[in-house]
Amino acid sequence: MTTKRDFLTLRDITPQELQMLLQRAQDLKKGKDATRCPLIGKSIGLLFEKASTRTRVSLEVGMYQLGAQTIYMNPKEIQMGRGETIHDTAKVLSRYLDAVVIRTFSHDTLKEFASHAAIPVVNGLSDLHHPCQALGDLQTIIERKEKLKGLRLAYVGDGNNVANSLIEAASLTGMNISLACPKGYEPDPGVLKKAKESIGAEIAVVRDPVEAVRKADVVYTDVWISMGQENEASRKRKKFEKYQINSTLLSNARKDAIVLHCLPAHRGEEITDEVMDGPRSAVFDQAENRLHTQKALLEFLLA
């Protein structure tokens, strides 16, 4: 019996597997094997505690294109919402489904589910990691820069789940990353420690956005107030007011630097319209690439 593979963080795959996934995603985007349905007859669950646009739609479309069917589950509409344990839910769903994608508030929920599931579990987003987003980000950078190793990525804003996954992406690819975060909003210390033990990537956390962005090839940001943090909105906006990606800050990056944002964007807060809709923005290519990289990932886990 084949051992099941989970994808809870980018560290669940090797650098070689990551390279293979990104190449496969590029091939899929170009239409290679367009009529092939490697997952025909498979059923994949989407267990989402959090609202979603890109993750849900890209996964449902991707699964359909691969030949699989999807089953969307809101915890409030299944027995988990009435107190059934994660253990029991994982055991039961493993009897019905071939894989499950979970989008959850707590990474511990994801790990607990995966520990009891007999099928592959994919992280569609947790409070600690967003590895599916990072896959699409890497594909977008390759499309625009034709490489990853040696590039400099500047992340400006909250050291959140996206930042954590970008740190892991850098450590697996040899891409250098500087993160500008206000005090108290740095990336996860455990993620940083493991990444810095890797060979070939420079990883730095700084306070000054200008320092982070200087000579960057890629400038990246995310919302200041994530889902579930609405009660912190006023306080965080004051802390982050100097961390906006605007034309002035972007002028410190390389002239051919691209701008990324995982979306949804709060325009006028972490990024201006001028930058997001400007010629250096790759934001909507980035959103599209979620489809292709997730198709490659599901094919890798299930085909």
| Residues involved in catalysis | 103, 130, 133, 222, 262, 290
Rounded CA separation 96/167 (Å): 35
d(CA 266, CA 222): 9
CA 46 to chain centre: 16
Q: Measured between alpha carbons, how far is 113 from 121 in angstroms, rounded to an integer? A: 8
Alpha-carbon distance of 71 to 58, in angstroms, equals: 14
**CB within 8 A of 103, min separation 6: which ones?**
46, 47, 48, 49, 50, 52, 55, 56, 124, 125, 126
User: Helices 283-302 and 54-66, interaxial angle, to 10°?
Assistant: 50
Strand, helix or coil at 37? coil
The candidate with the shortest Cα–Cα distance to 164, out of 150, 149, 177, is 177
Beta-bridge partners for 122: 7, 101
Whether the Cβ atoms of residue 86 and residue 58 lie closer than 8 Å to each other = no
The CA-based angle 223-159-7, given to 5 degrees, is 95
Return d(Cα 286, Cα 140) in angstroms, integer: 5
What phi and psi, each to the nearest 5 degrees, are found at residue 209?
-60, -35
Tell me the two tokens of residue 99.
Answer: 């894989």
Residue matched to tokens 């590039």: 151
Token pair in block for residue 115: 């520990």
